[in-house]
Each structure stands twice: as structure tokens, then as C-alpha cells.
Structure 1
């Protein structure tokens, strides 16, 4: 490992947290500015979904590939390229004069963003070699993610109110330049112990599958579910999923080792990650539109209304880590399911005049549910895995979170799109149309509870041990 003569681990940690703050806040900050973007650019409802999902699609599709590239070509180098692309995409967003250009710029942001999270974690593990210090550093890094996700809507509301919606993108540029300067000065170069070959067919099929399924769900409102275009999107997406499974079974160095899924704790963690982040992204997307287009709040007050969500998430995230460390993944997953489920049930009667107190209670409960789920997801994903495979398992869990966020926007929009006319949310119809989403969230919360029980029992632990033995012998 080479770099500056004097290593400053805390500065490296701060630099990695700074990059994570940029990436994760951008996942949610855009939600609150969507009505302002639509008003200025006259975009349709589906284009609003694409403004969010173009970013998430790139992050979800490329995250695993980037880890391999960083190990081969250098983590510091890949980290710098990621920050530069993210800043360039942010500037393009601020300069966008059409919704199509904005969607393209968001995709550029996502390519850069995909290079930051997994590479930052690899950098931290190479700098913090002592196990206890490494655990504390990763805990700080992970807490930054939760804070950034939760505060995104609040920060977005403040910026759009006082400056304009472009400010949520321009603010990334000076922060990104600061991160580049710190990386050049303090972050050492490092590489993986041995180079992994790139699974190009698997990577291509993963991108096609996610893109086609997302396109089918988002564009169904425009073309109709029975149209050949939507059938083609969804059909080709499902065929790509099948092709991905076949390719991964035969690949010498697969993008995702499918043997991992024989471990119940790992499989449960992946499904829970998809469910939890799908509920989280759909919840923020639809409630932002409800608060501004139905309740008539401006972006600032809509963002402030999400403070209970942010507070619940920030309070429960560290609690979840402690509970997971002491009792394992089961208890925090059950508590997370209660938070998500109770918050969703409060919204099943949503209408234009729903009391503000009930809304804030729902937001707080969902924030608690979200804050409680992240630590047990990672813990369950790596539970029983050989140490050499734990990083890969955690990376797959992180990718699953992004896939869930991607699908949550697409599904939430598809389920409520009947209440949108000419790209405008209908005042009376929209709350009613979202009821199906809230009931689906309640069911999803029940699934998280069931998976939390099944994937943490004795048989689950035995399955993880069997998979670990298989991987060790390979």
C-alpha cells in the first residue's frame, strides 16, 4: 500500500464519510424537489420517477462490478474517478434545461455514486487493520449513511425554498471538490490481494434485467399494462433474470455466487433489504407529492414534515446496532417490522384532510422501522460466512438495498399512477390511490417479521454453516 508518508486514519474516515454523505443524501434529497422540477420543466409523472430511478438504477447495477475494478486497478484511483463523475453529473443536473437532460445527468451521477460506497468501505478496511478500530470506523461510516438518507428531504426543502431546486445539485460540487482534495492528500492507494476476473455477461444481464423491469413498471401508466411495449419490457427483463441465473451458475468467477443463497440468513437478509428499501423509497416519493400537491405545502414545509422520519431513523439506527450486537438480528428485525407496519397502517385511510399529527406519527414510526433494519440486514447477510466471503456478502446486501429502492419508486408510482392526469397529481384521487401502497407496505412489514423469525432460527444457522463449509472447501 502506497500513499502519503504519514497516515491519518481519522482524516481518511472523514473523507469516506463525506463521499457517503453526498451519495446517500442524493438518494432522497431529490424527492422533495420533484414538484418544483415538474412545474418548471412540465415533466410527466413517469419522468419524475425516472429522475429518481435513473440514479438508483446505475448504483444498483454497477456496485458489485466497481468493487472488483477497485481491487484490480486501485481503490484510491477508482474513488477519485467516482467523486469526479458524481460532481460532473451534479453540475449537469444544475445546468439541465429539459427533463430528458436531467434524467441523463442523474444517470451520470449514479455511475459516479456506484464507485463510492463499496470502494470507501474497502479503503477503510485497508487503513484500519486493528479489528476493534475497524469495527468502530465502519460503524461511524454506516451511521453517516442513515443520517444522510433521513436528512435528505429536509435539506432539499431548505435549499429549494431559499435558492431553487438546482441548488440541491450544485451544493454537491464544492463538497465533492473538497473530498477530491482530501483524497489526493491523505488517502493511500491500495489493491485487493488477488485480481478477480470480470463477469461481463453476468454484469450485462444484471443491467438489462433491472432496466427492463423498471421501465415496464414506470411506463405502464403511459402505454397501458396490456400494450406490446410493456409486455416486451417486462418479458425481456424476466428472461434476463433467468439468463443471469444460468450464467452465474456456470461462471468461474461469478458476479454473485449463487451458493450464498443456500444459507437462510443470507437469503432472508437479501429479501428483507429489498422489501425494506422498496417501502422506504415508495413512502418518501408518494408522501412528498402528497404534502406538496395535495396539502399545498411548499418544499420547505414539506421537508420539515419529514423530520419525524429523520429523527426516528437517527435515534433507532444506533439502538439497532446495539441490539444486533447483543441479541442478534431477530429482535431488531421484528421491531423494524412493527415500525414499518404501524406507520403504513396509519396511512391506509389517507385523504386530503388527514390530521397533521397522524401524518407525523406515521412518519416517525416508519423512520424507526427504517433505522432498525440496516444493522441486522448486514449482520444476517454475513452470519456464518467464511471471513474471506463476508465482504462479498455485505456488498450483495448493499446492492439489494439499492435494488429495493429502485423497485419501490417504480412500483409505488405504478400503483398510484391512475390518479395522475397530464403529469399533475389529482387533489382528491391521489390519496385514495395510495391506499393500495400502504396496505402493501403493511403486508411487506409482515413478511419482514416472518423472514426475521425464519432466517435467524437453528435450522437457518445450520444452513449457513453448511454453505460456509462448502465455500471453504471450494
Structure 2
């Protein structure tokens, strides 16, 4: 009996670390869910915000744009600071800031204050996304367990963005647009408490100096690029503001490369990009989330303004996308753990390409069955792709640099969403003056889906090329060089 008791105690002791790790994963996923939710749930609330606050539609759209702009600009800084001063500490500060920003957004008396509070909310959100993946990477140290955990995390990120229109529609119809922000507060508070109880503090073993010059140049480059792609539909490619914005982008990134190559302790180690899998992952992240951002904008307009769905009805129509992201994200993580990222990236690219082709090739307006198949394929494509992106970005990187690597991939996601809105918005604006002009809108609709199909093809090619045996060998050689340089 004593032997049985000892075996039982040993089993319980072995289970305890696993249970704690799974709880850490759940805390990170719940916290990240509210960040992704805020980039999409507000889409269906824009008309209500416009009416309630007496704003123009363009003004109301800045409640989305300001959030994306700030979130994309500060992700890498937050990851770098967390690796330096402590990941749990920065994660908890982010949760408090996000909760405060959400509460203030719900109480905003006018549009100007709402946009300002959205900026505060985004600063908090920037401390959650890359820091969460860094916590996960340092909690799940075995490569297969890490891949599975990142698969769950990737599914959560995708679902949070895809399910936003559904939840936003429910909250707007049942309460008001302010409820979209209030729902974040208890989740963030619970995450703060649980993080303090169950997440162990971790930081980089070697504490490098911060790189303020690199950070300023990065923020200038990302902010000007994001501003430019957001404003192109309204101002035009040749407007002084857009030309100035993109000129600032080119100058900032050129100076950033020059500075980081000469800085012994850079904010972004540009040697990362010598790894074909890492470079491919960042490019695929940008393209995949361009497709997702464009899809959500395009089909929100199509369902509500052409098919006359209610906000809740439009959210329900997109539900196949959200459900399949949730299903295939974890499956993709397990496949990546067993077979590497190539199968997931290939399946994701093929599914996205197929979604575009079945819309573009038959020129007739899609039936409800075709819509269901298109939305399902987009969900399959994003579900398989997202987990592979994150795993490829952080795999092979030292744990001390996992946060920055994840921050780069997360920045590409946010830029992709903004770029998707800008591209699809430009296509629609170039065809119609009002969405109610159904024939003109449907021309833009088919062109937009052709863009999504092209993105699927590009991601398919990138997935094959950057995960080949030669690319993997090159990545390992690059990692060995980085390790040798660090020891020296």
C-alpha cells in the first residue's frame, strides 16, 4: 500500500507542472483574445458610434485606425522591455493599462476622447501579444510541446479577430457599442490576478541596453507606413500627405537598418532575417493578415449593405470562418510539432487560394452555399497558417530573443490587417460612391477576392520555398553563427 501511495504521489508530482503550464497557456490565450477582439468587434459598431457621437463615418473609422497604428508601433518595444525587466511584470502592466483604456472608452463623451482612450488601450495591448508568446515559449521548453501550445495560441488569436463581428453584433443589438469595451474589463482584471498567482517571472539571462534610437526609427517607420496605407483610400496615392508618409517610411527603415547593423546591442537583430524560415514567416504573416483584414471589411459591407443582414446576422454568417480557425489552429500546432511547418503552410495557402478562385471564376453573385464554402475555406486557410507562422518565427531562436522574434511576427500581423483594410477600401472606393450601388460594388467585390486569391498563391509559394531542406539548413547555420557570436 505504501508503494502504491508513493507511485500516486509521483504521478501527481509529474502532473503538477503540466497542469500549471496549461493554466499559464489559458491565461495568455484569454488575455490575447480581448486584444484581437477589439480589432474586429468594433467594425459592426461604427454606424452606432457615428450616430451616438455625431461623427462622420471617416471620423468613426479612426477608432479602429488609431488602435491598429499604436498597437503595431509598440509591439517590438514591449517585447524588448519584457525580455529585459521581466515578462510577467510587463504582461500585468499591459493588462491593467488595457482594462483602464477599455473602461475609459466605454465612458468616452465624444469621438476625440474615444480615439485618445483607444490609443491608451492599444499601448496596453502591445504589452500582451508578443509578451504572451514569450511567456509560452519559456513555459513550454520542449519543442513539440511548444509547437502544440503555440497552435492553441494561434487558434485563439485567429478566433478573436474572426468572432469579433459576431460578439460585437450581439452586444450592439442587446446593449450599445459601449458594451464592446466594458466586456474587456473583468477579463483583464482576472488575467492580472491569475498571472500574479501562476506565471513565474522570467527575463533574458543577459540584460542588454535598450536601443532608443532604434526604437524611435522603428516607431517612425511603422507609424508612417500604417498611416499611409490607412489614409490612401481617402487622400489618394499622389497626395502630399501620402507621399510624405511613405517617404518617411523609406527613410526611417533605411536609417534603422544602418543603425542596427552598427549597434552592438540592437533592438532588432537583423541576423534573424538571414534565416529563410523566419523571413518567410514574417512575410506570410503580413500577407495572411492582409487577407483577413480585407475579408472582414469586404464581407461586413457586403452582408449588411448589399444583402441587408443585421449586425448580428452578419456576425453569424461569418461564424464558419471563426469556428474553423478554432478547430484547425490547434491541429496545425500538432502537425507542426510532428512534421514541421511546411504541411500547415501549404494547406493554408491552398485553402486561401481556393476561397478566392471559387468567387472570382464564376462571375455570378455568390449563392448562400458558395458564401458558406468561401468563409469556411478562409477559416481553414487562416487556422492552418497562423500557428505555423508563430512557431516558425520563434523556433531556433534563443529563449532570450523569443519575445523580440514574436514581436516582429505580431507587428506583421497588425500591419497586415491595416494593409488589408486599405487595399480593399481603395478597391471599393475606386468603383462605387455608395455601397448601395450594387452592380458597381459587386465588381469591386470580385476584384477584392482576386486579391485574396493572389495572397493565397503567394503564401503557398513562400511556404514551400522557405521550409525546404536547403532553407532549414541555412537557418540552422545562421543559428549556430549567432550562438557562436554570443559566446564570444
Instruction: Give ranges in structure 1 of 5+ residues lacking alignment.
Output: 1-5
Give 1:307 deviation, angstroms: 0.8
Matched residue, 1:31: 43
Matched residue, 1:433: 444
Q: Secondary structure at the match of 2:360?
A: coil
Give 1:277 deviation, angstroms: 0.8
Matched residue, 1:58: 70
* Stretch moving more, 183-192 or 372-381: 183-192
Asked whether the equivalents of residues 313 and 370 of structure 1 are also in contact (C-alpha less than 8 Å), the reply is yes
Q: Secondary structure at the match of 2:452?
A: helix
Give 1:284 deviation, angstroms: 0.7
Give 1:223 deviation, angstroms: 2.9
Q: Closer, same or farther in 2 for the Cα pair 1:155/1:114, shift >3 Å?
A: same
Q: Closer, same or farther in 2 for the Cα pair 1:457/1:13, shift >3 Å?
A: closer
CA distance in 1, matches of 2:138, 2:472: 29
Q: Secondary structure at the match of 2:163?
A: helix
Matched residue, 2:185: 173
Give structure 1 regions of 4+ aligned residues with deviation exceeding 6 angstroms: 129-133, 349-352
Instruction: Give ranges in structure 2 of 5+ residues lacking alignment.
Output: 1-16
Matches within 5 A, 1:396-411: 396-411=408-423
Asked whether the equivalents of residues 424 and 448 of structure 2 are also in contact (C-alpha less than 8 Å), the reply is yes
Give 1:377 deviation, angstroms: 1.6
Matched residue, 1:302: 314
Give the structure-2-normalised TM-score: 0.87
CA distance in 2, matches of 1:389, 1:181: 26
Q: Closer, same or farther in 2 for the Cα pair 1:43/1:221, shift >3 Å?
A: farther
Give 1:232 deviation, angstroms: 1.3
CA distance in 2, matches of 1:171, 1:122: 26
How many correspondences in the alignment? 467
Q: Secondary structure at the match of 1:254?
A: coil
- 1:95 and 2:129 correspond: no
CA distance in 1, matches of 2:363, 2:310: 18
* Stretch moving more, 180-189 or 192-201: 180-189
CA distance in 2, matches of 1:269, 1:81: 29
CA RMSD of aligned residues (A): 2.8
Q: Closer, same or farther in 2 for the Cα pair 1:460/1:80, shift >3 Å?
A: same
CA distance in 2, matches of 1:174, 1:351: 47
Asked whether the equivalents of residues 32 and 157 of structure 2 are also in contact (C-alpha less than 8 Å), the reply is yes
CA distance in 1, matches of 2:453, 2:141: 42
Asked whether the equivalents of residues 93 and 105 of structure 1 are also in contact (C-alpha less than 8 Å), the reply is yes
Asked whether the equivalents of residues 352 and 431 of structure 1 are also in contact (C-alpha less than 8 Å), the reply is no
Matched residue, 2:470: 459
Asked whether the equivalents of residues 148 and 334 of structure 2 are also in contact (C-alpha less than 8 Å), the reply is no
- 1:264 and 2:271 correspond: no
Give 1:251 deviation, angstroms: 1.8
Give 1:43 deviation, angstroms: 4.5
